[in-house]
Chain A
Amino acid sequence: MKARVHVMLKPGVLDPQGEAVRHALGALGYDTVEGVRQGKVIELDLSETDPDKARKDVDAMCEKLLANTVIESYSVEIS
Chain B
Amino acid sequence: MRAAVLVFPGSNCDRDMAVALRTAGADVTMVWHKDTNLPEGLDVVAIPGGFSFGDYLRCGAIAGRSPICRSVIDFANRGGFVLGVCNGFQILTETGLLPGALMRNAGLKFVCKSVGLRVETTESAFTSGYAKDQVISIPIAHHDGNYNLSPDDLAALQDQHRIAFRYDANPNGSVDNIAGVLSENRRVLGMMPHPERAVDPAHPSADGQPFFASLLEQMATT
Contact = CB atoms under 8 A, between A and B. Distances in A.
Do most interface residues of chain A lie in helix, strand or loop, or is the interface mixed? Answer: helix
B65 A64 contact: yes
Contacts of A16: 103-108, 146, 173
B34 to A, nearest CB: 17
**Residues of B in contact with A, size category:** 20 to 34
B58 interface: yes
Interface in B99-128: 99-101, 103-108
Contact of B57 (A13, A66, A71): A66
Contact of A17 (B62, B94, B108, B173): B108
Contact of A71 (B62, B65, B107, B148): B148
A69 B76 CA distance: 22
B101 A68 contact: yes
Contacts, number: 35
Interface centre among A17, A65, A68 (most CB of B within 10 A): A68
Contact size class for A? 10 to 19
Nearest to B65: A65
A16 B143 CA distance: 12
B61 A71 contact: no
A63 to B, nearest CB: 12
B108 A68 contact: no
Interface string A13-56: 11011001000000000000000000000000000000000000
A13 to B, nearest CB: 6
A66 B108 CA distance: 23
5 contacts: A14-B173, A16-B105, A17-B108, A65-B62, A68-B61
Given A64-B65, A68-B61, A71-B101, 7 more contacts: A14-B106, A17-B108, A65-B57, A65-B65, A68-B94, A71-B103, A71-B148
